Structure 1
């Protein structure tokens, strides 16, 4: 009897979500944001982003850019060079403070999807940790793209961040019951332990959350998804309780990071060449700062005494975020982990957490040393900040997110990717219409 009641409650919940979806879409149609093609019933979203009608990126042809059309890419580059265009795409922090004073109006005008799009997604909530220090517009567009009401989002803002930025993040977060600022903030130092600690702080609060989330993903403000929430859910379900993160034996050229004592003094790295005493508690592995792990993995990180010893040992190492998660992934008994044997080594191209282009691995397809084509944007610390010309390549991969994007470098790349993902979401809604038997307004012939 209890099982029957649970199922009925689930169906009722989803019908309610469907009704909310219908009302939301009715609003969009009423404001001219949807177009229906009567012959194909294809729904097109025509207003995206801040100041939709006048958004300067609309001058570019996103559809052609995503196909790698040379003429469209050349026009996008030319547009990017214009000083007026550069100025127009900037959105001040105060805009978000003012806009989010009326939360209902803000959520509606920014077109957040505040209802589960499917039962499948509602039954598979995800936990996110997002670490930030600047670029409010990038963060808000990231949040809007990955937002779903069944998920939960922990936001860590660097204690050094500008007050205007912190105010803007706080104001936007306050409009959503499942988005919160972490209670303990860190002074973030590049390659420092504070990067790990920021995620640990969010891990603790997410683990204490009543939301029954299944997987944890950590992001930064310059990440952007390559998949819709439904696609992310299906990719995580396919992991079947396993984690997905890079984990290979510590390369010889990175061993110095863990062999000497590194400390941050007055915001700067300092080492006097002192060697670390004692051996590490486990064989060390190398990977990436960004991970996809189960809730059980997070519980091990927070509660397993063996891991607590490793974390304490790693606090005075350099670039610890690229070592600790990769090493924990190979500790026997950790949920979703793999054996430390070399047969289970996995590189960042095979883990689905993050797609990154490193300068020293770029090259032409004919080069035997090239892992991917040249960056079409610019490089920062050896990492490609993607340009519009990278989008076609990015969307051929199964990774869930990509890093790095920067509105100051190429706003068109983010705009077109955001538009592409929203259209996929709308296509998903159309499919749901057929599957569940309720009709979206404007689709009948």
Structure 2
């Protein structure tokens, strides 16, 4: 059994609960093991007690270039010495914007923001303004931020508010449908003339790394065109991760609007809304999208540096190879220990759980999986120096190499052995 001393983390945790609710500044971290980190380097994290962890959570996804990439941090530091926010424009906005549009390939305009949560709201506002309609379609299990009209939970097939204090009627503008069910979407759009937008994670990375069936996204695009509905891709996770042009490039489907974040800026807090000029230019008159820190100097420097790095030395083949080997290795280790470990998704973002080995195509299918057991196993993985999320998502970065692959599989096998021996 691996035993890692975390005395310093425990001290910091006890101090934190007197400072901030639950000792964390994001509720996503409430279920975590209470580890406090001192630094990250490449594909590794180092905690306050000196323990190392090979990292497959990557800060919930943003660190696609690895932790503390010098090319990004140096650019941000240099730019910040000239200022941060001016309450006006600066030349680096143009550089970042042009590079973004050229990299994404399909979009004609971009607006930079700070978080995916707020940029998702901007996308819906544009869709409503453009169509004169009030409602939108989304898919069960997708995540589009924590605001009242977006944060949901599904219990026994019934979707509702996920938080105390959340206004339930804010969900009244939403039609919730199963993902990968084109018949359900077709029927809804045929029956309802009040749908402004369909918003989707092209790959449901927040819930099981559920991929679209062959042709599904193309059919969604066709239905939106037929009914005059704005198609929004939430590419906060998939953007610049699945390909330089994100899911739109990988699956060959062009949305009307796309929301981006995470991998776009090498670990810095930046989001973006991109889309067709006819929609985006509505921000120039009549539709409001504001924010003091939108397109700040450090943000634009981070975007420029990160995208330049992704273009000059594309990591996508390396990431795909590493992820494919890791997925296969995890499956083999599960089989060798007689444990029903299942792996689903794409090599750069996949989901690990226990249970039914069949492919999961929608959120209801996730109910077949033993995610509670996996969450317990994730704690054992952390004890063995593998930093992963209890919910099962694994992210691969450009910084992961053969060394990390060897280490993670050794540690995964040791953790699985301890887990089985412990009878859990």
Asked if TM exceeds 0.5, the reply is no
User: Of Structure 1 and Structure 2, which has the larger fraction of its residues in strand?
Assistant: 2
Q: Larger relative contact order (C-alpha < 8 A, sep ≥ 6)?
A: 2
TM-score interval for Structure 1 and Structure 2 normalised by the shorter chain: under 0.3
Tell me the TM-score normalised to structure 1 length.
0.25
